[in-house]
Structures are given as structure tokens and as C-alpha cells.
Structure 1
Amino acid sequence: MNKIARFLLTASSIAPVGITLIFIGIIKNKQWLVWWSLGICVASFVSVVFFLCYATKHLTSLYKNVESISPANKEVTNYFLSYLFPLLGTDSIADKWQYAAFFYISLVFYICFSENYNFNPLISLLGYKFYEAEDDTGVGFVLISKEVITNLKDRDFEVIQLTDYTFLHVLRI
């Protein structure tokens, strides 16, 4: 599950690049670029939503004692710049599909191998927040939660492990 989770989190975190490519496709009147980029964005969104629902319902949960936590939104600027980066190669990306494909694939590999999930706009649209947390053993990890977490006192978090260092906070009602 670790590799699938890593891939889906990565793919959905870079899907907004597709919005930039859709914009380029509209401006350059390149319908193939609009439709392929839209398809990738939608597929990424649907896949990550399905995965989060599946993980919540079917994966075994555990409890983590979180010692420290802070919002993990420092990366927003870097992601935003990455989303706009295709504008630098507007002519080449619009004229040859290979450039757009290379850009997408390069970005997926970079983020996938960096294990950088501190911000994901698609998951954020669903109401999730990202936190940099540390457990009682001193190990740091990313905690994804729908809850705004402001108090850690006398609290264990029910979580599902998505990757080695990424956990989804489960809110059972």
C-alpha cells in the first residue's frame, strides 16, 4: 500500500499543474492539451478521493501519541511556482505533446522520490489539513486531518499509516 499511497499523493499534489496546461491549451487553441490535462487532473482527484475513502474504511488503524505539531503549509509558495512553471515553455509545451508529458512525468518522479507531501491542494479542497508532527519517540511525520488541531494534551490520535512517514487522522463518530 505504501507505493500506491505515495504515487496517488504525489499525482494529486501536482495535478494543479494541469490547470496551468489547460490555460496554455486554451490560449494557444490546442484542444489536445486542454483535454489531456483536464483528464489527468480529474483522474488524480478521483483516485486520491477513492484511496482516502478506501484507507479509512479498510486499513487497520493505530494510535499515535503526538508530542508536537505545527501546520505544514510553508510549501505553498514552492508548489504555486511549480504549478506556474509550464508557462515558461508555453510555445514548446503547446506545440509538442512530448514536452507536456515530459514535464508531468519529471514532476511526478521528483515529488515521489522526495517524499514531500506537506501540501496537497486537491486534498485540501476536501477539507484536509496537513501537519508536521512528532511522536513520543521523536520521529517526525506528516499528519493529514480534517480537524484543526490546537491541543495535544492527554490525547492519542487514531491514525492510518499511508506511507512510512504519512498518517491519516481518523475521526470516528
Structure 2
Amino acid sequence: MLNPIGKAVLVTSSLAPVAFGYGVAAIAEGRGTSETCRWFVMGAGLTVIAALMPWIARDGSAPIKVKTKGLKNSDKEVLVFLVTYMIPFISKPTFSTEPSLIIIIYVFGVIFISVYHTNMFTFNPMLALFGYHFYEIETEGGMKDLLVSKSVFREQVNDLWIARMAEYVYLEVEEPETCLTQPG
């Protein structure tokens, strides 16, 4: 199980497009290779972390069977994330890719704290890049959680096998050989 750091890693890895955006801005401004590369290396590192997260959750968390009474596609949240990521780049005619360290910490910190503490995490663009889809599921107990899945659900699913990635975030997994069920 990735929790308690799983949520922090999910939020942080979702910021990879921001780092890639700074890299593209550095190229557009004719910045040097070292400055340009640092942004792409940061983005690539966050992408690798995102790629490893489902594997870690699958291996480190005991799968449970959960009964659902609602399933809603959350993939459409990508537009909100992309627009949010691009606002800094379209707000100025020129955008410095050499911001001070305090500005970088502030921007990433505000985004991180906002997403982490409000549980508004509903989409990770890097996981979407690897073919994952995002769903809001409602359990029989009335809880609404985020499901990350390679499956494309076109109708209601009543039973799912899941592994916990973070608080309120689950990964759909294969049915294990030994069965655990969600406590009633």
C-alpha cells in the first residue's frame, strides 16, 4: 500500500506537465541546454514515478472486493488540469524559465497543498498517458472514492477488485487467488 505517502506521490507526479511546459518555454526563449534539460529531466522523473505507482500499489496492497452502487467517468477532468497547467504560460508575452527558487517552491507548494489537503485529486495526466482511466465510484456504504483503471466501463459494475493507492484512491486489480472482501 502506498498510503500515507501515496497521495503525495500521486499529486507530485501529476505536476510533470508543468515541468515539461517550463522546458518547452526554455526552448522557445532560446535558453541554454543545461536550463532546458533540467526541466525535461524533472518531468521525465515525475513520469517514471507515475508509471511505477500502479505496479507498487498492486504489489504492496492486499486486494479487496468492493461492491459498488455507482460509477462515474472522471476522465473529462483532464481539461481542467491542462488549462490550469497552461495559465502561467499564456498569461505573459514572455515567460522566464529562470524563476527564483522561492517562486518555484511557492507555485508547486500551493498546487500540492491545495490538491493534497482538499482530496480534489481526480486525475493524473501522466497515468492517463499510460492508458489509465479515472472513475468516481460509490460504495454500498455511501463512500465516494477515485478508481484508477485500465478498463473502460460503459455500464454499471457491481463488484470490483481494488488495491489502495492512497486515501480515497484505489487501483482496479485482477481477482486474487485468495479472496478478501470489504468489511460490511
TM range (shorter): 0.7 to 0.9
Q: What is the aligned partner in structure 1 of residue 24 from structure 2?
A: 23
Instruction: Tell me: CA distance 1:143–1:78, structure 2 relative to 1, closer, same or farther (3 Å).
Output: same
**TM-score, with structure 1 as normaliser:** 0.87
Map residues 69-84 of structure 1 onto 2, 5 A cutoff. 69-84=71-86
Q: By percentage of residues, which structure has more helix?
A: 1
The more displaced of 114-123 and 92-101 is 92-101
Instruction: Tell me: CA distance 1:104–1:20, structure 2 relative to 1, closer, same or farther (3 Å).
Output: same
Q: CA deviation at 1:47?
A: 1.3
Instruction: Tell me: CA distance 1:18–1:90, structure 2 relative to 1, closer, same or farther (3 Å).
Output: farther
The CA RMSD measured in Å over matched residues stands at 2.1
Q: What is the aligned partner in structure 1 of residue 180 from structure 2?
A: none
Identical columns (%) = 20
Runs of 4 or more consecutive aligned structure 1 residues displaced over 6 Å after TM superposition: none
Q: CA deviation at 1:89?
A: 5.1
Distance in 2 between residues matched to 1:18 and 1:93, nearest whole Å: 13
- Identify unmatched segments of 5+ residues in structure 1: none
Instruction: Select which of 144, 152, 168 maps to 1:165.
Output: 168
Distance in 2 between residues matched to 1:103 and 1:90, nearest whole Å: 19
Instruction: Tell me: CA distance 1:23–1:78, structure 2 relative to 1, closer, same or farther (3 Å).
Output: same
Whether contact under 8 Å (2:12, 2:46) holds in the other structure is yes
Q: What is the aligned partner in structure 1 of residue 182 from structure 2?
A: none
- For 2:164, give the aligned amino acid: Q
Distance in 2 between residues matched to 1:164 and 1:95, nearest whole Å: 35
Whether contact under 8 Å (2:8, 2:116) holds in the other structure is yes
Q: Deviations over 1:49-92 (max 9, x none)?
A: 22221211231111110111110134222211111122125756
Distance in 2 between residues matched to 1:53 and 1:150, nearest whole Å: 25
Whether contact under 8 Å (1:143, 1:169) holds in the other structure is yes
Q: Deviations over 1:6-40 (max 9, x none)?
A: 11110121211122111111112233442222122
Q: What is the aligned partner in structure 1 of residue 137 from structure 2?
A: 133
**TM-score, with structure 2 as normaliser:** 0.82
